[in-house]
């Protein structure tokens, strides 16, 4: 399941793979996996599983990611999110986070895979669509062809709501030399998502006080829209433009999200948004 904040932290790894590396290189020429990466990302809208809050509740976000990758395949990361909708000092400055551990393929091959467990946590009141999610068990596989890159991922969410989401990405990367070993890449990408939406209907739930028959008392009732059956979630079209210079990478990504099969009361309007990310690899 691609996420904007993990894209910037895994960028140095993925840029080292691709159609040009379809044939495995000799063992003594294979580059070591970057071991520590710090990524920063800012976006004009907050999206998750091709769902987004209402524009009035979403001004975008600033995210920070710290990723550790061991040469043998172990990977872990910590992500912290600050919403630009932050208005009061009493609100948590960090309103959302993720802690991930997993295992990934290493070496120069034309197939890349990962298996991961992610713990999601939300601070205080949150308008984020993923606020009911707590645990994510996921696996993904990416195949680098000579003409395109295809990636498929599956996520199983367990928490106060339970969901299964499948994601397919297709992209083609154009790489241009800039100065020395620096490169500029442009990678048009289309993403198709499908799955259940209990997490989203939970974020749309409203509460109201209803009178009871006992002595004119009241009780709090939660009203949640019906969750659609397993169906397509939408399409995302994006064009990441990435400059890689040594251990630094800067990525600017315009995106267009077209949501499908949105539950009643959800935000169903397609929209453009923009993400800017920068990462620095150490060691």
Q: How confident is the model at residue 25 (pLDDT cuts 50, 70, 90)?
A: very low
Residues 89-126 have pLDDT tens digits of 667 888 899 999 999 998 788 999 999 999 999 886 66
Q: How confident is the model at residue 216 (pLDDT cuts 50, 70, 90)?
A: low
Transcribe 236-278 into DSSP letters.
EEE--EEEEETTEEEEEEEEEEEE-SPPTTS----EEEEEEEE
Give yes or no for residue 1 having a pLDDT over 60. no
Residue 84 DSSP class = T
Note the Cα 82 to chain centre separation in Å.
Answer: 15
Alpha-helical (H) ranges within the chain are: 4-15, 198-203
Q: Topology of domain 4-282, per CATH?
A: Porin (2.40.160)
Alpha-helical (H) ranges within 164-208 are: 198-203
Residues 131-184 have pLDDT tens digits of 889 999 999 999 999 999 999 999 999 988 899 999 999 999 999 888 878 899
Report d(CA 67, CA 114) in Å as an integer.
14
Helix (H, G, I), strand (E, B) or coil at 159: coil
Give yes or no for residue 14 having a pLDDT over 60. no
């Amino acid at each position: 399941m691609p996420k904007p904040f993990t894209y910037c932290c895994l960028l140095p790894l993925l840029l080292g793979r691709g159609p040009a590396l379809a044939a495995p290189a000799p063992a003594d020429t294979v580059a070591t996996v970057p071991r520590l990466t710090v990524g920063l990302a800012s976006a004009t809208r907050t999206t998750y599983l091709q769902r987004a809050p209402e524009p009035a509740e979403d001004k975008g976000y600033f995210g920070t990611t710290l990723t550790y990758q061991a040469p043998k395949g172990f990977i872990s990361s910590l992500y912290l999110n600050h919403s630009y909708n932050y208005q009061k000092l009493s609100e948590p400055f960090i309103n959302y986070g993720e802690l991930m551990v997993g295992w990934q393929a290493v070496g120069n091959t034309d197939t890349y895979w990962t298996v991961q467990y992610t713990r999601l946590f939300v601070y205080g009141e949150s308008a984020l669509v993923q606020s009911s999610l707590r645990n994510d068990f996921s696996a993904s596989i990416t195949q680098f062809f000579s003409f395109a890159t295809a990636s498929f991922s599956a996520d199983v969410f367990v928490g106060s709501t339970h969901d299964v989401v499948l994601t397919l990405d297709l992209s083609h990367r154009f790489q241009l030399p800039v100065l020395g070993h620096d490169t500029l890449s442009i990678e048009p990408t289309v993403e198709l998502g499908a799955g259940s939406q209990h997490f989203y209907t939970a974020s749309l739930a409203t509460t109201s006080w209803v009178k009871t028959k006992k002595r004119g008392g009241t009780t709090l009732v939660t009203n949640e829209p019906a969750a659609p059956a397993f169906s397509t979630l939408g399409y995302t079209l994006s064009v990441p433009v990435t400059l890689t210079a040594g251990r630094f990478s800067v990525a600017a990504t315009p995106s267009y999200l077209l949501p499908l099969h949105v539950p009643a009361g959800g935000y169903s309007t397609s929209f453009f948004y923009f993400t800017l990310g920068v990462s620095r690899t150490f060691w």
